[in-house]
């Protein structure tokens, strides 16, 4: 599903952020990506989200080489990705419904289909009934669940979560993790970047560890 | 049977996609208008500046159009008047006119006797009482000569004029409509000037809209960023901004037209007064309906063009791709 082969990324002014990283995630697998800040976690996620291009090596997603992809094709590949951010990245001038609907609207779905899927998605994260609310009227945990609903509404093959529990208390974190377990059941691959080691060891999933740009455990 | 159902299903899917696409456009069209309405101060400043630029260009245009209307009625010709010496009789003048007709450079001649000249002058000048008081007719007889059309060239005209001057019966020669030709040349320069100024103002409209859209894009960077990350294409992200540009141009075009029309309405009655003083039937030209539509189209197009140029460049600058 997701394959890194000898991937290196060098920034012109900050030096090498990733060095010779290789790993392979199977369909329906959950993995944690850990390491201290500055170890290259964000860079790795950016390479998968095609926000950056690697300097050497290949990144393959769903059978497609995305490390040398043309700018024109990027949007269509991104529609198979669900991104979850630590700071949620919600649009505050739009309702919960419109926020969750964005990936579908962008892909050109019919409004009826959009409404159906948004409801299903909000139902999965337990926010059905809050469609008309604005994100700022919700608690942090609820906002993060809106972000998750947006990430899964397009039925992505891979979910990338960057510190999804960073701003949440342990109870909410456990809830979020439980949701990820459920996505796994339907064949979605999940990659979670976190430095919440307690969470990682507690759940017993695969752990990829980065240190100064090198993958020291996978 | 199953295959048929499947093809019908994919047809429905295509129709739905197309419907969604149209709805997205409609949404872009109206939501961008709503967005302008939510920032009334900024929007109206931009629209007013655009409207003034458009009004300037159109008012230059309409002024030239009006003057052209006035001078266009005057036929440009190289008709010459040969004023004969006082001692030439009508018979001699008539004979001379017939001789001139034989000249290969001459298209037509018309002999006007002293008496005819006086009648004509009485009828047109309003001095009839004063003329009646005169004991003798002060007017000379005239032969009007219309040169052949081939004589467009100024040198040929001058040569023909010199030839006529040599004739012993001729007192002096005048090319009647030379001033019209001059005026029309001046108008040609003026209308070319208007074209150039309009081009400049058109650029101004393009750049002002482009800059407004650039600021709008900066204000909505988060939205662009998130849209990109959930798989929006550039054309999808561009769409609402292009509609904003369209509305700016469209509304400014309408306001520009309104400004010009109000200015013309203010000028109308003094122009009419002046026109009656000259006993002329001159009527002020306004922008016609088709010119109004053209104005709207041009201003919208320029604004969309400016927005597009900025978006095309800026969206590729914005990270992520």
Q: From chain A, which residues contact B within 8 Å (Cβ)?
A: 46, 49-52, 71, 74-79, 81, 83, 89, 91, 102-103, 105-111, 113, 150, 154
Q: How far is A204 from chain B (nearest CA, A)?
A: 30
**Residue A206 covered by a domain:** no
Please tell me the predicted confidence (pLDDT) of residue B1.
53
A189 Cβ neighbours under 8 A, 6+ residues apart: A1, A2, A25, A26, A27, A28, A29, A30, A157, A158, A159
DSSP code string of A73-114: THHHHHTTEEEE-TT----TTS-HHHHHHHHHHHTT--HHHH
Please report, for residues A182, B238, B301, the alpha-carbon distance to residue B242 in angstroms, rounded to integers and kept in the order given.
41, 6, 10
Q: Which of B24, B225, B230 sits opposite A78 (nearest CB)?
A: B230
**Residue A59 covered by a domain:** no
d(CA A85, CA A92): 15
Q: Which of A50, A81, A102 sits opposite B226 (nearest CB)?
A: A102
Judge whether B11 is closer than 8 Å to chain A, CB to CB: no
Q: Which of B17, B227, B321 sits opposite A108 (nearest CB)?
A: B17
CA angle at A109 for the pair A104 and A110, rounded to the nearest 5°: 130
Q: Which residues of B touch A91 (CB under 8 A)?
A: 222-223, 226
Question: pLDDT tens digits, chain B, 321 residues: what are they?
Answer: 556 666 677 778 788 888 888 888 998 888 888 888 888 888 899 999 999 999 999 999 999 888 888 776 665 566 788 888 888 888 888 888 888 888 888 888 888 888 888 887 777 666 677 777 777 787 888 888 887 765 566 677 778 888 888 888 888 888 766 676 777 788 889 889 999 999 999 999 999 999 999 999 999 999 999 999 999 999 999 999 999 999 999 999 999 999 999 999 999 999 888 888 876 777 889 999 999 999 999 999 999 999 999 999 998 887 765
**Residue A115 covered by a domain:** yes
Centroid of chain to Cα B25: 34
Domain positions in chain B are: 26-73+182-317, 80-176
**What is the extent of the structural domain holding A130?**
94-150
Cβ-based burial of A148 (10 A; exposed 0-12, middle 13-18, buried ≥19):
buried
Judge whether B104 is closer than 8 Å to chain A, CB to CB: no
Judge whether B223 is closer than 8 Å to chain A, CB to CB: yes
**Residue A39 covered by a domain:** no
Q: How far is B243 from chain A (nearest CA, A)?
A: 17
CATH among 3.30.70.3040, 3.40.190.10, 3.40.309.10, 3.50.50.60 for B80-176? 3.30.70.3040
Q: What is the DSSP letter of A168?
A: S
Does this model's pTM top 0.80? My answer is: no
Higher pLDDT, A91 or B274: A91
d(CA A115, CA A101): 8
Q: How far is B67 from chain A (nearest CA, A)?
A: 54
pLDDT per position as a tens digit, B269-304: 998 888 888 767 778 899 999 999 999 999 999 999
List the single best residue of A45, A75, A152 to mutate versus B (max B Cβ within 10 A). A75
List the single best residue of B230, B235, B238 to mutate versus A (max A Cβ within 10 A). B230
**Residue A38 covered by a domain:** no
Q: Which residues of B touch A115 (CB under 8 A)?
A: none
Q: How far is B13 from chain A (nearest CA, A)?
A: 9
Number of domains in chain A: 1
Q: Which residues of A touch B223 (CB under 8 A)?
A: 91
Q: How far is A182 from chain B (nearest CA, A)?
A: 22
Residue given tokens 């779905």 in the structure block: A109
ipTM value for the complex: 0.91
Contact A79 B231 (CB under 8 A): yes
């Amino acid at each position: 599903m997701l394959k890194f082969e000898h991937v290196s990324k060098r920034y012109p002014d900050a030096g090498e952020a990733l060095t010779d990283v290789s790993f392979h995630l199977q369909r329906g697998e959950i993995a944690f990506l850990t390491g201290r800040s500055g170890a290259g976690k964000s860079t790795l996620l950016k390479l998968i989200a095609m926000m950056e291009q690697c300097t050497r090596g290949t990144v393959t997603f769903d059978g497609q080489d995305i490390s040398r992809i043309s700018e024109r094709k990027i949007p269509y590949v991104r529609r198979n990705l669900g991104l979850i951010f630590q700071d949620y990245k919600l649009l505050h001038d739009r309702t919960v419904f419109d926020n969750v609907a964005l990936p579908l609207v962008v892909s050109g779905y019919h409004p009826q289909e959009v409404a159906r899927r948004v409801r299903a998605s909000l139902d999965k994260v337990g926010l059905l009934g809050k469609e008309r609310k604005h994100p700022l009227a919700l608690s942090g945990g609820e906002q993060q669940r809106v972000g998750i609903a947006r990430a899964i509404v397009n039925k992505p093959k891979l979910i990338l979560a960057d510190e999804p529990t960073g701003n949440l208390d342990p109870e909410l974190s456990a809830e979020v993790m439980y949701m990820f377990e459920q996505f796994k059941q339907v064949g979605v691959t999940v990659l979670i970047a976190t430095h919440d080691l307690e969470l990682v060891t507690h759940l017993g999933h695969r752990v990829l560890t980065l240190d100064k740009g090198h993958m020291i455990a996978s | 049977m199953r295959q048929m159902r499947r093809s019908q299903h994919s047809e429905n899917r295509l129709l739905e996609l197309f419907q969604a696409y149209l709805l997205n456009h409609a949404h872009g069209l109206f939501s961008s208008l709503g967005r302008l309405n939510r920032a009334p101060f900024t929007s109206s400043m931009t629209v007013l500046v655009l409207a003034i630029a458009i009004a300037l260009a159109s008012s230059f245009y309409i002024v030239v159009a009006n003057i052209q209307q006035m001078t266009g009625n005057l036929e440009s010709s190289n008709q010459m008047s040969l004023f004969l010496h006082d001692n030439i009789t009508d018979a001699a003048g008539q004979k001379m006119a017939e001789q001139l007709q034989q000249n290969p450079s001459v298209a037509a001649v018309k002999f006007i006797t002293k008496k005819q000249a006086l009648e004509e002058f009485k009828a047109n000048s309003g001095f009839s009482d004063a003329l009646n008081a005169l004991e003798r007719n002060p007017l000379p007889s005239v032969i009007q000569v219309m040169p052949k059309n081939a004589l467009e060239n100024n040198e040929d005209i001058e040569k023909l004029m010199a030839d006529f001057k040599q004739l012993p019966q001729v007192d002096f020669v005048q090319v009647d409509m030379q001033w019209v030709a001059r005026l029309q040349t001046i108008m040609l320069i003026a209308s070319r000037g208007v074209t150039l100024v309009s081009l400049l103002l058109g650029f101004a409209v393009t750049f002002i809209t482009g800059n407004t859209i650039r600021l709008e894009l900066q204000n909505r960077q988060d939205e662009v960023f998130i849209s990109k990350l959930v798989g929006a294409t550039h054309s999808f992200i561009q769409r609402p901004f292009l509609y904003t540009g369209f509305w700016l141009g469209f509304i400014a075009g309408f306001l520009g037209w309104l400004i010009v029309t109000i200015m013309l309405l203010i000028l109308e009655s003094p122009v009419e007064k002046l026109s009656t003083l000259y006993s002329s039937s001159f009527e002020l030209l306004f922008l016609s309906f088709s010119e109004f539509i053209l104005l709207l189209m041009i201003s919208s197009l320029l604004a969309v063009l400016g927005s597009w140029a900025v978006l095309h460049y800026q969206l590729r600058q914005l990270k992520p791709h």
